[in-house]
Amino acid sequence: MAEPPNAVRRALHVLPAVAVLAACVGAWEAWVRLRDTPDYVLPAPSQVWRAFVDQRGIVGGHLATTLLESALGLVVGTAAGIAVAVALAGSPLLRRVLGPIVVASQTIPVMVLAPLLVLGFGYGLTPKVVVVALVTFFPVAIATAGGLTGARPDHVELIASMGATNATTLTKVRVPSALPHLFDGLRIAAAYTVAGAVIAEYTGGSSGLGIYIDRSRAAFRVDQVFVAVAVIALVSTALFLIVGGLARVVCPWAYRRTES
The secondary element (H helix, E strand) that includes residue 26 is helix 6-35
**What confidence tens digit (pLDDT) does each residue in 73-94 have?**
999 999 999 998 888 877 777 7
Query: At CA 219, angle to CA 227 and CA 224, rounded to 5?
Result: 5
**What confidence tens digit (pLDDT) does each residue in 109-147 have?**
777 777 777 777 777 888 889 889 988 988 898 888 888
40 is a domain residue: no
Given a cut of 90, whether residue 160 has pLDDT beyond it is no
20 is a domain residue: no
pLDDT score, position 65: 93
205 is a domain residue: yes
Residue 110 amino acid letter? V
89 is a domain residue: yes
Contacts 24+ apart (CB under 8 A), 74-78: 74/132, 74/133, 74/136, 74/189, 74/190, 74/193, 76/129, 76/130, 76/132, 76/133, 77/132, 77/133, 77/134, 77/135, 77/136, 77/137, 77/140, 77/189, 78/136, 78/137, 78/140, 78/186, 78/189
pLDDT score, position 51: 93
Residue numbers of the domain that contains 149: 78-259
131 is a domain residue: yes
**What confidence tens digit (pLDDT) does each residue in 26-73 have?**
998 999 888 888 888 889 999 999 999 999 899 999 999 999 999 999
Dihedral of CA atoms 215, 216, 220, 222 in degrees, nearest 10, equals -150
193 is a domain residue: yes
pLDDT score, position 167: 66
Alpha carbon distance 50, 177 (integer Å):
49
Q: Which of 110, 115, 98, 118 is nearest to 134 (CA)?
A: 110
Given a cut of 60, whether residue 3 has pLDDT beyond it is no
Alpha carbon distance 158, 167 (integer Å):
15
Neighbours of 166 (CB within 10 A): 10
Given a cut of 80, whether residue 161 has pLDDT beyond it is no
Given a cut of 50, whether residue 229 has pLDDT beyond it is yes
**What confidence tens digit (pLDDT) does each residue in 185-228 have?**
999 999 889 988 998 888 777 889 999 999 999 888 999 999 99
Q: Which CATH number covers residue 227? A: 1.10.3720.10
CA R_g for the chain: 22
3 is a domain residue: no
Helix, strand, coil shares of the chain, percent, nearest 5, are: 85, 0, 15
User: How many domains are contained in the chain?
Assistant: 1
Alpha carbon distance 212, 202 (integer Å):
10
More confident residue, 196 or 107: 196
174 is a domain residue: yes
